[in-house]
Amino acid sequence: MGTKGVGSLGLALAVVAVDQATKLWVAGTLALGASRPIWEPVLALTRVHNRGAAFGLFPEQTWAFALVSAVVVGFLTGVLVAERWSAPLLRVGGALLLGGAIGNLVDRLRWGYVLDFVEIRGFPVFNVADAGIVVGAALIVVSFLLGRTR
C-alpha cells in the first residue's frame, strides 16, 4: 500500500472517529427524542434512533443493512488499499463513503440502530457518517461524470 492508500484510509478513519465521538456525546447528552436548538429555526440537535436505511426507509432491517454495509466496507477498503482509484475525487469520495459506512455499521452492531442527531429543518435527521456517505457518493459520481474513473 502506497501513500495514496494510507491517506485514503486515514481520511476514512478520521470520519469514523468524528462520527463515533459525536454520537457518544449525543448518547450521553440527549434523551431519545430530545431536541436542542442550535440556530433557530434552521438547525437543531435531535436524537433519533434509525432502525432502517437512509431516511428511515425499510425499518427493522438492521441485520440486512449491517451485511450490506460490511460488503461495501470490504469492497472500498480493497479498492483504496490496492490504490485502484488514482483520481483524487474518487479517492476522497471513496474514503468519505468508507468512513461513513464503517461509522453506521459500528452503530448497527453495537446498538442495533443508527444514532442520528443533526436536524436541518425540512430534511431527515442525519449524522456525520451519513454526511460522509452522501458527500462521498456525490464525489464519486462527479468523478465518473467528468471521465476520471481511474
Share of the chain above pLDDT 90, in %: 71
Share of the chain above pLDDT 70, in %: 90
Is the predicted pLDDT of residue 46 greater than 90, yes or no?
Answer: yes
Instruction: Confirm whether 19 is a catalytic residue.
Output: no
> Which residues contact residue 124 at a Cβ distance below 8 angstroms, ignoring those fewer than 6 apart?
54, 55, 56, 116
Which one of the listed residues 26, 46, 130, 143 is annotated catalytic? 130
Which one of the listed residues 104, 116, 127, 139 is annotated catalytic? 116
pTM, two decimals, is 0.89
Amino acid 86: pLDDT: 82
Per residue, the 3-state secondary structure of 100-146, as one string, reads HHHHHHHHHHHHCCEEEEEEECCCCCECHHHHHHHHHHHHHHHHHHC
Instruction: Confirm whether 130 is a catalytic residue.
Output: yes
Q: What is the mean pLDDT of residues 32-42?
A: 95
